[in-house]
């Protein structure tokens, strides 16, 4: 079993955090936190998922004497309200939420730091509002495309990496045998029409599968944590299937990004991607680099997908520290 230690590069927990809920309309209230230097280099951190939410640990990735650090939970995620809501929840609405937060915090310009789905969201925002973005750091590249989503969901994707964990998700008792060829629709329907207990069990099973491939080798401690609190998995899983069925499979966000990539050509970009990223294949990072040859690409040997992987986290922190040069 692989063990995971806490990074020595993490900055101390902030002693003061400004926090609150920002009303962005459509009955959504975004939970946000601001720490670090009041007049520091502003950077907004975008979590993954969709629906993963922030842990609060993300403040510690940034030098508090240099950065003004802004975290927020996207619609339906974490401490944003209402929890796990799919109503009026789309990639386009999340882009506008970033803009609303920028205006609320009176930021003339800022950097975006996004991981996984957050890397896609960072690019989508930058392509619409390039005048406000100073630079990007993108970790675990995801393009918001149907193929990328189904790589995680369906059997012909990452399933062979950890078949034991895939099977407990794909062969659950509530999945009819004749529906296993379309887990995307089956799980989406559960979160739309299923009873509460089935939804929570489905969320837990998908989260266990997703977490099993988030590291280069399964982190059993993280998996046990999911089993102890299965309700916590609901936002991530419900929103991920909502976005997949209603957006990633219906609109080619990858094509949008690559067709407008010229808008990023003069922007400093750092790409960080784990060599053993089973959730977002490392080919994604190489493809983005081909379209943005000026970007600094860092493939982290032996690393997985999640920011909880110390190899990824340390590389992320070192990259941010390099901005001070």
Catalytic residues: 116, 277, 305
Inter-residue contact 302 to 311 (CB < 8 Å): yes
- Axis-axis angle for helices 196-212, 183-193 (nearest 10): 140
| C-alpha R_g of the chain | 19
DSSP H or E stretch at residue 95: helix 91-104
Inter-residue contact 154 to 145 (CB < 8 Å): no
Q: What's the sign of the alpha-carbon dihedral 37, 41, 42, 45?
A: negative
Burial grade of 1 (CB within 10 A; 0-12, 13-18, 19 or more): exposed
- 179: its two tokens: 């529906």
Which residues, 6+ apart, have CB-to-CB distance to 106 below 8 Å? Answer: none
3-state secondary structure of 190: helix
The span from the CA of 99 to the CA of 107, in Å, is 10
- 126: its two tokens: 């930058």
Inter-residue contact 74 to 80 (CB < 8 Å): yes
Inter-residue contact 61 to 36 (CB < 8 Å): no
In the DSSP assignment, the letter for residue 53 is -
The span from the CA of 192 to the CA of 181, in Å, is 19
Inter-residue contact 188 to 177 (CB < 8 Å): no
């Amino acid at each position: 079993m692989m063990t995971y230690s806490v990074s020595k590069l993490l900055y101390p927990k902030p002693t003061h955090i400004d926090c609150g809920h920002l009303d962005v309309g459509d009955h959504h209230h975004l939970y946000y936190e601001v720490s670090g230097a009041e007049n520091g280099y502003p950077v907004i951190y975008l979590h993954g998922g969709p629906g993963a939410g922030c842990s609060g640990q993300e403040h510690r990735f940034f030098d508090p004497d240099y950065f003004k650090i802004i975290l927020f939970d996207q619609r339906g995620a974490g401490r944003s309200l209402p929890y796990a809501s799919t109503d009026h929840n789309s990639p386009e609405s999340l882009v506008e939420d970033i803009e609303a937060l920028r205006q609320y915090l009176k930021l003339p310009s800022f950097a975006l730091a996004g991981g996984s789905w957050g890397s896609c969201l960072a690019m989508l925002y930058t392509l619409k509002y390039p005048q406000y973005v100073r630079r990007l750091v993108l970790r675990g590249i995801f393009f918001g495309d149907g193929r990328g989503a189904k790589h995680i969901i369906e059997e012909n994707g990452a399933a062979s990496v950890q078949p034991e964990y895939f099977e407990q998700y794909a062969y659950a008792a509530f999945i009819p045998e004749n529906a296993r060829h379309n887990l995307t629709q089956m799980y989406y329907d559960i979160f739309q029409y299923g009873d509460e207990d089935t939804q929570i069990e489905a969320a837990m099973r998908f989260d266990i599968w997703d977490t099993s491939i988030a590291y280069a080798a399964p982190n059993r401690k993280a998996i046990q944590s999911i089993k102890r609190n299965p309700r916590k998995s609901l936002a991530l899983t419900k929103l991920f299937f909502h976005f997949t069925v209603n957006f990633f499979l219906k609109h080619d966000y990858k094509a949008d990004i690559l067709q407008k990539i010229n808008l990023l050509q003069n922007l400093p970009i750092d790409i960080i991607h784990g060599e053993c990223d089973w959730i977002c294949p490392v080919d994604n990072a190489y493809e983005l680099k081909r379209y943005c040859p000026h970007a600094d690409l860092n493939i982290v040997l032996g690393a997985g997908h999640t920011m909880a992987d110390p190899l990824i986290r340390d590389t992320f922190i070192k990259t941010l520290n390099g901005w001070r040069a």
